[in-house]
Every structure is written in C-alpha cells, then in structure tokens.
Amino acid sequence: MINTNKQKESSLLLKLADKINDPDLKREYLLNLKDLITNEPSTSTSQPYTLIKIFHIFENPSIQNITLQDLQKEIKDTKQELQNFKQKTKKQITNLDQILLQKHSSSSSSDKEIAPIDRTNLEDQEETSTKFINLIERITYQKLHINITITIQDCLKLQTTALIDSGAQMNCIQEGLIPTKYFEKTKQKLSTANGENLRVKLKVTDVHICNEGICNKRSFILVKNLDIGIILGQPFLEIIKPFKIKTEGITTKIFQQKIIFAFNEKPITKDINLLKIFSLFKEHSINLIKTKENHLYFMKQKVSNKKLEQHLQTSQIRGKINSLRNNIINNLCSDLPDAFWHKKRHVMSLPHKKDFTEQNILTKARPIQMTYELMKHCKKKKFKNY
C-alpha cells in the first residue's frame, strides 16, 4: 500500500515537469527530483510469521551423537565433582561439630543456680509457656564412667575404667582383662536389655572393688564382646545405697566415711534444633553423594556399551558376524537343511526285492533328514523282512 502511493506521487511530479517550458529550469527540476527519489530510504515490508514456519524450525532438530571421548570426559568431571563435594561436606560437618561443641561447653550445667524470673514479663512468659508446653529444647546426658581399682585374690591388682549401669543384673568383666586361672565355672544366666540370652560359662568371686582406701568384695562373670572393661551393675549399687548422683560423680557413705566415685566425663548438653539441622544436613549430603555415585555408575556402563559397539564395528568382527549369519541362512534356514545330519551320510540297499531301484522310493522326490531314530526304525524293518 505504501509503495503504491509513492509511485503515484512520483508520476505526478513527472507530469509537473512537462508543464515547465524553460529547458534549463526543467533540467534542474528533473535532476533534483532524481536525487530526491534515489536518496529516499527504502522501507522493507515485514512478512508476518506463520505457525507453519515456526513448527518447521522444530521438525528436524539437529541430533548430536555422543562420542566415547565425551563420555570419558563427563566421567572424569563427575569424579572430580564427587571428590570436591566429599571434601567440602567433610569440612562443613567438622565445622558443625565444632559449633555443637562450643554450644555444649557454653551451656549451663544442671548444678548451676537458676536465674531469677523477671516478674515484669511474667504474663508474657505464661502466655508463651501455654503455646510451647512439653517442648524439649535441649537434652543433657552423661556417661557414668569411673576409675576404679580391683584386687583379685590379693594377687592381681588392676586399675581400669568401669561403667555404672543400673540396668545390668550382674557385675561383668571383659574377656582377656584378667588371666583365666582366676575364673571358675558357673551356671548363672544373663540377658541383654532386648531379652537376648548371653553365653556365660565362667565367673570370678574373690574380687575387691577399692576406692579411697575402702574395698568391697563382689563377684563378676566373664562376658565376651564387651565395649568396656568392667560393668558395675545392680549388685554394686546395692552395697553403696543410699547414694546421690551429681555432676561430679556418685557420692555415698560407707562406714560413716564419705566416698565419691568421680565421673571421667562432664555432662553434655545438646540443642535439639542444632541436632536436627545437623542430622538433616548429613542426610542431604549422603543423598547427594549417592546420586552422584549412581550417575557415575551409569556413565561407566554407557562407556562400556559404547566400547562394545565400536568393537563390533571393526572389520574383523563384522566379517565373523557375516560368516555366522550366512552359515545360519544356508544350513538352518534353507528348505533342505543339512546342519545336523548330512543327507548322503547313510546309503542303504534293499536286496530282498528284485528289480528294486532308488528312483522307485517316493521320498526321493524330496530328500529327508536321516535321524538316529529313523535309521533305527529302518534297520528293524529290514531285519523283519529277512
């Protein structure tokens, strides 16, 4: 539409040139008109897009074949990423452990005085407590490990670490801690916390548990696969009753003398939220590592298949495959197969009938495969005719 209007305008200007009688003025007018038309910028009309042209772009996308070198490079990059991720995760877990330890060391123990309550904010505290009732924020635990000295039959003296366990039915001693010559056979029975029976065959009776110069005679049984040398169970706790458990250890009175069984480790307080974050981070990291390892395994399988594919494309292998294929076509898939039994391997004559020739056999019109069963059947028929 725009081009048509311009053509009309140009023709009109040319008609005006015919009205000029002065040749010099007419010539100057035409030259100016020529410059005006030639110097005018040309405007190109934009062609509208159609859905057919757009769909035609995506009809034949360029397919890039993955080469063996690409797969090997991806495996190398994945291995490097996996190694870097493991190192980074290890550092992050170490940092989280340090944060937890700092929190534990800065947390107040159970023996410290409780801070006074601000009465001005008592109403706000009561309102908050109703929202978060029975919510555990921190946990505090302590391993009840103590150092003791035991004396066996006034001959063997041993200093070791013992675990105080109120759930243990008897005092237990680890296998290999003391010589077997001090043990004697027993028929006592012992079970674990989940009810599983333990094999108990030996015990030692003359054992003195000493602390701060006071000794108590107790008996022990030999238990295999203990994580700690000695476990002091209910029989030991019975002789020190009444007792108090504090942060420093277990305090009791024996013969009007105060005795402290000091703990080797201080109580540990852990923040539930930090433990939850730490657990989620470890779980997330483990899942990512497993995902990368699975991807690496699949890539190795793909490389193996790619190598096998390239090996099958070699001229030597293709020659063997073609030879086997031709052999199958000629021997197994033909109308007259001879792969299992040669058709002329067994030749028989029948002399019992005069003027008999092979051409009179009906089956000669189409050779058949002579099997062992068929040959055996023919022999039986032959001897019967005799």
CATH of the domain at 227: 2.40.70.10
- Per-residue pLDDT for 118 more than 50? no
Report CA Rg, the chain. 51
Q: Is residue 56 part of a domain?
A: no
Q: Are residues 160 and 242 in the same domain?
A: yes
Q: Is residue 259 part of a domain?
A: yes
Q: Is residue 7 part of a domain?
A: yes
Its domain, for residue 29, covers: 2-39
Greater model confidence, 47 or 201? 201
- pLDDT class for 6, splitting at 50, 70, 90? low
Q: Are residues 155 and 261 in the same domain?
A: yes
- Per-residue pLDDT for 125 more than 50? no
Tell me the C-alpha distance between 223 and 231, whole Å: 10
Greater model confidence, 158 or 3? 158
Q: Is residue 44 part of a domain?
A: no
Greater model confidence, 97 or 79? 79
Question: What are 29-85's pLDDT values in tens digits?
Answer: 677 767 666 655 555 555 666 666 666 665 655 556 777 788 888 888 888 888 888
Q: Are residues 361 and 256 in the same domain?
A: no
Q: Are residues 245 and 346 in the same domain?
A: no
Q: For 3-17, 173-187, 217-231, which range has the lowest pLDDT when averaged over its residues?
A: 3-17
pLDDT at 7: 63
Question: What are 255-279's pLDDT values in tens digits?
Answer: 788 888 888 887 777 666 666 777 7
Grouping H, G, I as helix, E, B as strand and the rest as coil, residue 355 is coil
pLDDT at 128: 46
Tell me the C-alpha distance between 372 and 375, whole Å: 5
Of 246, 265, 284, which residue constitutes the final position of a domain? 265
Structure tokens at 332: 């197994």
Q: Which residue has the tokens 């002091």?
A: 232
Count how many residues are written for the chain. 386
Greater model confidence, 366 or 294? 294
Q: Is residue 278 part of a domain?
A: no
Question: What are 281-305's pLDDT values in tens digits?
Answer: 788 888 888 888 888 888 888 888 8
- Per-residue pLDDT for 5 more than 80? no
Tell me the C-alpha distance between 128 and 122, whole Å: 10
Q: Is residue 133 part of a domain?
A: no
**Four-CA torsion 173, 174, 179, 182, nearest 10 degrees:** 20
What average pLDDT score do residues 211-219 get? 82
pLDDT at 117: 40
**Four-CA torsion 336, 338, 344, 349, nearest 10 degrees:** -70
**144 contacts: CB under 8 Å, gap ≥ 6:** 163, 164, 165, 245, 250, 263
**Four-CA torsion 217, 218, 222, 223, nearest 10 degrees:** -130
- Per-residue pLDDT for 130 more than 60? no
Please state, rounded to an integer, the average pLDDT across all residues of the chain: 72
pLDDT at 380: 73
- Per-residue pLDDT for 205 more than 50? yes
Residue-wise DSSP of 95-121 = HHHHHHHHHHHHSPPTTSPPPPP-GGG
How many domains would you assign to the chain?
3
Q: Are residues 234 and 158 in the same domain?
A: yes
- pLDDT class for 216, splitting at 50, 70, 90? confident
Measured between alpha carbons, how far is residue 382 from residues 154, 268, 339 in Å?
A: 104, 101, 27
Count Cα neighbours of 292 within 13 Å in the Cβ-side half-sphere: 19
Q: Are residues 238 and 335 in the same domain?
A: no
pTM (two decimals): 0.39
What DSSP designation does 343 have?
T
Q: Are residues 261 and 159 in the same domain?
A: yes
Question: What are 145-188's pLDDT values in tens digits?
Answer: 888 888 888 788 888 888 888 888 888 888 878 887 888 888 77
pLDDT at 180: 78
Q: Are 209 and 236 in contact (CB under 8 A)?
A: yes
Q: Are residues 155 and 233 in the same domain?
A: yes
Residue-wise DSSP of 115-157 = PPP-GGGHHHHHHHHHHSTT---EEEE---EEEEEEEETTTEE
Burial readout 54-72 (b: 16 or more C-beta within 10 A, e: otherwise): eeeeeeeeeeeeeeeeebe
